[in-house]
Amino acid sequence: DDILVTTTSVEKVDKFFQDMQVVELKDLGVVSKFLGVAFSYDEEDGWALDQEQVIQDMLVKFGLGKAAPVSTPIGGEQDGEAPVGSFLWISRCTRPNISFAVHRATRNSHAPREADWRLAKRIAKYLKGTKSIKFVMNADENAMGEDGVLVEAYSDADYAADKKDRKTVSGGVVMMAGAVVAWMCKKQACVALSTMESEFVAASQTTARMLGIIECLKEIGIKVRIPSLLHVDNQAAIAQLEGEDTTGHAKHIDTRHKFVKDFAKKKVLLINYCESKKMRADVLTKVLPAPRLVELRELVML
């Protein structure tokens, strides 16, 4: 098995290996590659992760090594899936900018059609043209201090995006000390009746992901700044999340989504309005033109 040891203290790393002498364990030094992810460090930019070799191997495996690159991973037409397992691994480790396309590609993985293969080829072609892109993890000094590290999240929703069942796609990005540490793209379980409701559900899903990360940080002794921030680009959803009452239009939303209101009321969570053009989670919810995709790619540290 492979183990990645991380700490701010070299002494703690040395102690770990001393304690692990009871088993056969080889110290390979500073990480350069782990589970297919390549690591590089720069004093100014911090850590950078990429899966260039994984992408190249995947292209060759599926006979797409000579395919022409494209500027976006998904087009406006209805395409589909194929080497989905490889795409999922890449999108979850270092490439949030293909998460929406991969989400679309997984819909028919149990019974792929010709359209699914077309989408798979498009994703592969996009990865070919962007395989050298690195996912940068660089902390912002203003987001950490004696009062703890700042954890914040961005949530977005594409209302009634699926034409078959009219369910909304939620997107969420979680950041720690100014660096992106987690992201999600998933279809909502319920059918929202308005844009506000879809944003409300997306905000709750993203908050749940953020709170899980906060609990993990606390368990390993990292102090978290209070309040944490939740950025939403819909004023009606913010009003619902911060308000005492829920309007009649939103009462049908399952009660599990209401817990966000409780954290906001306790001042553990501060809900902030974010302009749509600065919404990082936008890259996770919809088909985007190439210029906008490049803008958002930079906002999610690519």
Q: Which CA distances in Å does 78 have to 68, 102, 106, 107, 243? A: 20, 13, 13, 12, 39
H or E stretch at 226:
none
In angstroms, rounded to a whole number, what is the distance separating the alpha carbons of residues 169 and 188? 6
Phi and psi at residue 149, to the nearest 5°: -95, 140
Q: Does the pTM of the predicted model rise above 0.75?
A: yes
Own/partner pairs for 264-269, CB < 8 Å, 24+ apart?
267/226, 267/227, 268/226, 268/227, 268/228, 269/207, 269/227, 269/228, 269/229, 269/230
pLDDT means over runs of 10, the chain (302 residues): 84 87 84 93 90 92 85 63 80 95 83 80 93 92 91 96 89 96 94 89 94 94 95 90 67 72 91 95 94 92 80
Residue 84, pLDDT score: 83
Q: Which CA distances in Å does 125 have to 65, 71, 74, 106, 114? A: 9, 9, 10, 17, 17
Phi and psi at residue 183, to the nearest 5°: -155, 160
Residue 244, pLDDT score: 67
Residue 259, pLDDT score: 81
Strand order in the sheet with 151-158: 179-187, 169-176, 151-158, 228-232, 269-273
Residue 246, pLDDT score: 61
Residue 254, pLDDT score: 65
- Domain 139-299 in this protein, CATH class: alpha beta
Which residue do the tokens 């720069």 mark? 42
Residue 167, pLDDT score: 92
Task: Please say whether the beta carbons of 241 and 271 come within 8 A.
Answer: yes
In the chain, which residues fall in CATH 3.30.420.10?
139-299
In angstroms, rounded to a whole number, what is the distance separating the alpha carbons of residues 282 and 127? 19
